[in-house]
Amino acid sequence: MEAVPFIGIDRHRLGVDGVGVTTLAAFHGCPLRCKYCLNRRCLESPEELPRESVERAAEVVGDFIVDIKESNAEIYKAYTGGDAALVWANLEWLIQKKGPEHVTVRVPLIPDFNTEADCDLTAARLKAMGATRIDRFTYRVQQS
Ligand code: SF4
């Protein structure tokens, strides 16, 4: 089995990133380069991974919280440097595999990158894909 570049695990988080008690597992090697990232050492976007990795995660994780960031490919690329097509394909697979009740999709308003109208389009695309748990919020940007 392939080794995973693991940073650490944080158990018994109350009311953070989900309902009730949650566990955060952090890994090195995030393929994205989000402009407002607070921790570039971490990997928190499994949907940006090859399908095989997402399939493995789906075998052991009960509920997923996915920060989809943006549906417009150009905005997604400008903000993350990544490929939106891969993300959306993996998310669609995940929703079908786990069921929409087990996948919460977070849709952020990203200051200076997207608008409320862009978020409306992303939410509509998610609903058409079958997502039922959609969490809209606004990124807080650190002032330097
Ligand atoms: S997905 Fe973006 S915000 Fe999250 S760790 Fe990777 S670069 Fe940072």
Nearest CA to ligand 1 atom 3: 37
| Ligand 1: centre distance to CA 33 (Å) | 6
Distance of alpha carbon 56 from alpha carbon 17, whole angstroms = 21
Atom of ligand 1 nearest to the CA of 30: 6
The string of pLDDT tens digits covering residues 91-132 is 999 999 999 999 999 999 999 999 999 999 999 999 999 999
Decide if pLDDT at 68 tops 60. yes
| Ligand 1: centre distance to CA 36 (Å) | 8
Task: List CB contacts of 102: < 8 A, sequence separation 6 or more.
Answer: 62, 63, 64
The string of pLDDT tens digits covering residues 10-51 is 888 887 777 788 877 777 777 788 888 876 555 455 556 778
Exposure string for 90-108, b = 16+ CB within 10 A, e = fewer: bbeebbeeeebeebbbebb
Q: Which two tokens stand for residue 86?
A: 């891969």
Torsion of CA 25, 56, 90, 141, to 10 degrees: 10
The string of pLDDT tens digits covering residues 41-64 is 554 555 567 788 889 889 988 889
For residue 2, the model assigns a pLDDT of: 61
Atom of ligand 1 nearest to the CA of 43: 5
Task: List CB contacts of 99: < 8 A, sequence separation 6 or more.
Answer: none
Q: Rounded to 5 degrees, what are φ and ψ at 116?
A: -60, -40
Let me know how long the chain is: 144
| Ligand 1: centre distance to CA 43 (Å) | 6
Q: In the chain, what are the domains?
A: 44-138 (3.20.20.70)
For residue 119, the model assigns a pLDDT of: 98
For residue 31, the model assigns a pLDDT of: 79
For the Cβ of 44 lying below 6 angstroms from any atom of ligand 1, the answer is yes
User: Do 66 and 105 touch, CB atoms closer than 8 A?
Assistant: yes
For residue 131, the model assigns a pLDDT of: 98
For residue 1, the model assigns a pLDDT of: 55
User: Do 107 and 122 touch, CB atoms closer than 8 A?
Assistant: yes
For the Cβ of 110 lying below 6 angstroms from any atom of ligand 1, the answer is no
Atom of ligand 1 nearest to the CA of 36: 3
For residue 3, the model assigns a pLDDT of: 65
For residue 126, the model assigns a pLDDT of: 98
The pLDDT confidence band at residue 144, using thresholds 50, 70 and 90, is: low
Nearest to 24 by CA among 32, 16, 35: 16
Residue to mutate, 32, 66, 86, ligand 1, most ligand atoms under 8 Å from C-beta: 32
Beta pairing partners, 104: 65, 133
Distance of alpha carbon 19 from alpha carbon 30, whole angstroms = 25
